[in-house]
């Protein structure tokens, strides 16, 4: 390996080691996701359920999933 490449790898490894040591000795401070993550998830699920509940029950969409009674046979041409 070239000396410049070896030096770059050792600097990168040293930087990662320093970052890991700093994080290990630091107290964990709750961030936004720790504080409000579950609340945001529950709120989103509630909005999703409410909106789709309205769409499926109140808008009067005619789903028409069954073709029975809609398809009429044509006369066979010989």
Q: What pLDDT, in 10s, does the model give residues 2-14?
A: 666 666 556 566 6
Q: Is residue 3 part of a domain?
A: no
What's the CA gap between 73 and 11, in Å, rounded?
A: 78
Answer whether 50's CB lies under 8 Å from 56's CB.
no
User: Residue 37: phi, psi to the nearest 5?
Assistant: -60, -50
What's the CA gap between 49 and 42, in Å, rounded?
A: 10
Q: Is residue 45 part of a domain?
A: yes
For residue 35, the enclosing domain spans: 8-55
Name the pTM for this structure.
0.45
**Residue pLDDT, tens place only, 24-59:** 666 778 888 889 999 999 999 999 999 999 988 887
Q: Is residue 19 part of a domain?
A: yes
CB atoms within 10 A of CB 1: 7
The beta-strand segments (E) located in 1-78 are none
Domain count, the chain: 1
Q: Is residue 61 part of a domain?
A: no
């Amino acid at each position: 390996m070239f000396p410049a490449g070896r030096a770059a790898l050792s600097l990168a490894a040293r930087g990662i080691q320093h970052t890991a040591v700093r994080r290990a000795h630091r107290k964990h401070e709750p961030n936004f996701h720790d504080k409000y993550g579950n609340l945001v998830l529950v709120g989103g699920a509630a909005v999703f359920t409410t909106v789709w509940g309205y769409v499926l029950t109140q808008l009067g969409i005619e789903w028409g999933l069954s073709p029975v009674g809609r398809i009429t046979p044509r006369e066979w041409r010989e």
